[in-house]
Structure 1
Amino acid sequence: MCHGDFHPDNVMLSEGGDPYRVIDWMTGMAGDPAGDMAQSWVILMSGTLPEDTEPAIRMGFETVRESLVEYYIHHYMQLSGITREAIESWMLPVAAARLDEDLPAQERAAQVCSGTNSSVIKVELHIIYTDTTMTE
């Protein structure tokens, strides 16, 4: 079962009982877990903070973001047995599909510049992003 939109806003924590609950299963589906993980990776690396976030908080967030995402990916790979290569093979289609979503401009721009270490994917996403902004 793939969630399709797994990120921190879709996890509810509780003080007692179960430590957490995953919510918002509207996009839940059967599919390739590597694609689901790639979707989470793109969301986590391109998500933005509200415009009025204090500069110190923004800087702290950006400083730890990549480390937290890398830890999450590594832990996911250990538990699932899925390879980084399998996840990365989904990065371009997932990121391209996300550009078609109704995202704030700041988050769309962040997505083009982050989400993977592959410069080829960044260039391809930039081309896709440029094409979609020219047609709007």
Structure 2
Amino acid sequence: MSDVEFQTKVEQSLTTFSRISTDDQSGVEGFISTFRYCQLDTANIVGYQNLLSLVKKRETELNIPENRMFYLSVVPEVFDVIALNIKESGLWTTKGLNRLIIEKPFDYNVTSAREFNRKLIEDFDETDIYYINHYL
């Protein structure tokens, strides 16, 4: 998917679901123009390194601080590899704040969930990890 195709999807979503009018095209177009699309293989660190290059470029172009949020809404089998690749690729290394947000269920039972959490806090500060339970 190209950046333009992704931006079109964002615009369609805003038009369909936003509670705020999207009639002000100048504001909407400016907002939509900031979006970029980057697809990667979760198991291949090269994709994360490419994402890091894109993120750094956009931070510079938009003059925004290096505050990064990684929202993982994926199957439990890939949480650990994604988290590790975020760390190993340099995406986690910033001058600002980082947050790792994990949407539950993040494992299959209490024992495996505790093991998963133990692994995460080996590589990430526990205060930077947020768990979201969308069933509440």
Assess same fold via TM > 0.5. no
* Structure showing greater Rg: 2
TM-score (norm 1): 0.35
State the TM-score, normalized to the length of structure 2: 0.35
More strand by share: 2
